[in-house]
Amino acid sequence: MTSKAFTSVTMVTCLTYLLCTSIVDAGDSSSLDTEDPCSLYGTGIYSHPLECQLFYNCSKNDLFEGHWKHLDECKYPDLFSLVTNKCERYHEVDCDGREEFVDACDYKQNQCLGPHCRPCGTRWPKCEVENGRTHYQYMIGSPYYGVCQDWRVVERKQCEIGRFNIVTKSCTIQSSANSV
């Protein structure tokens, strides 16, 4: 018996997300509430039927009960490919109806639900342009910025000299009279 919701794979090259990001708020869990393929099919790696960056690694034996202990996620901005059976660069993957997130803060690994975690917006900038440079929302006036491609942050950078100017989208040296 097969299920069209899950696809069996034999190999994956992805990072596991941290313990504090593995805990999902009950209010947000409805999109992930699916039947555990590991209990249905045993060992193997299976795509998540709803989110393109998620997959089940049935050889992973986490501390969590239920199917959450097998749930894993590709490193941002990679997505899980049904063709190659591993995490691939986002532009090489067809999500085939599964939801495809473009914001780093929508990935579970970047969400912070623990008491000592820094909010995602302080660690990842949000792309306000499809392609080009963008600032960190909570770090205006800092030297830090991101490079966006296809609405995704593909690089996080720091100005060698000066600060990132949100108007000119470049690193500038400001005099003390003009500083933010």
Residues 23-77 pLDDT 10s: 233 334 444 455 678 878 778 888 999 999 999 888 876 555 544 678 899 999 9
In the prediction, which pLDDT does 119 show?
87
Residues 139 and 164 both lie in one domain:
yes
Residues 135 and 99 both lie in one domain:
no
109 phi, psi to nearest 5 deg: -65, -20
**Domains: count for the chain:** 2
What region does 85 belong to: left with phi over 0, alpha with psi -120 to 50, or beta? left
Residues 102 and 28 both lie in one domain:
yes
CB within 8 Å of 107: residues ≥ 6 apart: 17, 53, 73, 76, 101
Place of tokens 């989208």: 169
Domain assignment present for 46: yes
Residue type, 149: Q
CB within 8 Å of 71: residues ≥ 6 apart: 22, 32, 48, 54, 55, 56
Residues 120-159 pLDDT 10s: 988 999 999 999 999 998 889 999 999 999 999 999 999 9
Residue 19 has pLDDT above 70, yes or no: no
pTM of the model: 0.72
Residues 96 and 76 both lie in one domain:
yes
